[in-house]
Amino acid sequence: MKKRLDSWEIVTPAVTLAYAVASRWVETHYPAAGRALLSLGLARRSPVYIKTSELPR
């Protein structure tokens, strides 16, 4: 018998993805907000920003 997906099985990953994308956008555009997220325990580590020219090739 085929199992029917419950709504939470779709909503939870969608909300998690949306949160991750939104928090990453905030961290890259507003570094101070990234530090605030870190102090609240909502980010795993402090954001590190590297210039594109400094990236290894």
Q: Which long-range contacts (CB under 8 A, 24 or more apart) does 13-18 make?
A: none
Residue 46 is predicted with a pLDDT of: 61
Contact 43, 34 (CB under 8 A): yes
Write down the pTM of the prediction.
0.52
The residue type of 57 is R
CA–CA distance, 17 with 43 (Å, rounded to integer): 14
- Which residue ranges in the chain fall short of pLDDT 70? 1-2, 5, 41-47
